[in-house]
Amino acid sequence: MKFLSRGWKKTAAAAAALLLLSSSMFALTGCAPGEAKSGASSSAAVQAEGQLKPGTAYVKRDPSVTYSVPEGVSVLMFHMIGDIPNNAAVETEANLRLQMNYLRDHGYHPITMQELYDYVTKGAALPEKPVCITFDDGYLDSYTIVYPMMKEYGFPWTLFLITDDVGKPYNRMTWDQLKEMADSHTVTIANHTLSHPKLHNLATAKEKEKEIVEANEALKYHLGIDNAWLAYPYGDYDDQVVEICKKAGIKMAVTTDSGRVHVGSYPYELKRVYIGNDISLARFSERLNKDNYTPV
């Protein structure tokens, strides 16, 4: 949830108009975006080993996959995976597997943060039936359950990590485990702040800056990551937080506000689509495709 002014809206609308204009110009000249084509996009192209950026997911897709500019993309939001009764947001491993089976069996193509960024800001083409998979916080199950499962399906995903929680005894990962994940290039590891506060509640800009900048520094120090992506804890932010993100090299940030993202969406307040045990497969399917999906 955003606090304070909404001054960005004008800029976002202008950007969307520009994007629309430029995509129609492309259409006139007969080249992408907007035009379906085959083959991996440049950002998805598999680079030579050693050129891969640490902590960044790369995906090798079948060259027959068709690319086009979709009407919208669902950025799926997951948290903990496990068995905690009466907490629908903690999804069971069995339900996660059912959903990943659904994606595979229905021809969905999970995309990376870079692909999402290129889509939102430049109207870049995406593989058919795109979806973006994100997990917040950095629970141990992101290493023990999610990491091997996504590898098995060949799905790139993104982990938004609370860096000060790494190594804590209860249900958290170690930096060694994160390093293994970062070096696998199957997951993008990104910023979910140092300690997971409600950012707009922090008294000073300095405190907000510390949460964002020092988490980026931890990602760089421990994992070698030059991070450009962030998830606001509790989806909570304000204009000052967005300015701090921009200065810290964050290019795109996701909220917990419910909805899908589109070409021209303001990259510092991208909506996400909640997924949990209370989302049946029928509702899951709806959430992959429809802007006005049924609320929980």
For binding to Zn ion (CB under 5 A), which residues are involved?
136-137, 233
Q: Decide whether 192 or 222 has the Cβ nearer to Zn ion.
A: 192
Q: Decide whether 93 or 236 has the Cβ nearer to Zn ion.
A: 236
Question: Could you tell me which residues come within 8 angstroms of residue 149 by beta carbon, excluding any fewer than 6 positions away?
Answer: 93, 96, 97, 100
Q: How far is the CB of 121 from Zn ion (least distance, A)?
A: 25
Closest CA to 37 of 132, 120, 126: 126
Q: Would you give the DSSP letter of residue 265?
A: -
Q: How far is the CB of 196 from Zn ion (least distance, A)?
A: 6
Q: Decide whether 111 or 231 has the Cβ nearer to Zn ion.
A: 231
Q: Decide whether 23 or 163 has the Cβ nearer to Zn ion.
A: 163
Q: Is 251 exposed, middle or buried (0-12, 13-18, 19+ CB in 10 A)?
A: middle
Q: How far is the CB of 137 from Zn ion (least distance, A)?
A: 5
Three-state SS at 1:
coil
Q: Provide the β-strand partners of residue 139.
A: 172
Q: Decide whether 115 or 136 has the Cβ nearer to Zn ion.
A: 136
CA 175 to chain centre: 21
Q: How far is the CB of 272 from Zn ion (least distance, A)?
A: 12
User: What angle, rounded to 10 degrees, do the helices at 281-289 and 93-105 form?
Assistant: 50
Cα(216)–Cα(223) distance, integer angstroms = 10
Token output for 224: 């070698």
Q: Decide whether 136 or 238 has the Cβ nearer to Zn ion.
A: 136
Cα(283)–Cα(296) distance, integer angstroms = 9
| Pairing label, strands 252-258, 270-274 | parallel
Q: Decide whether 174 or 195 has the Cβ nearer to Zn ion.
A: 195
Q: How far is the CB of 247 from Zn ion (least distance, A)?
A: 22
Q: How far is the CB of 245 from Zn ion (least distance, A)?
A: 16
Three-state SS at 228:
coil
Contact call for residues 84 and 99 (beta carbons, < 8 A): no
Residue nearest to Zn ion as judged by C-beta position:
136
Q: How far is the CB of 55 from Zn ion (least distance, A)?
A: 18
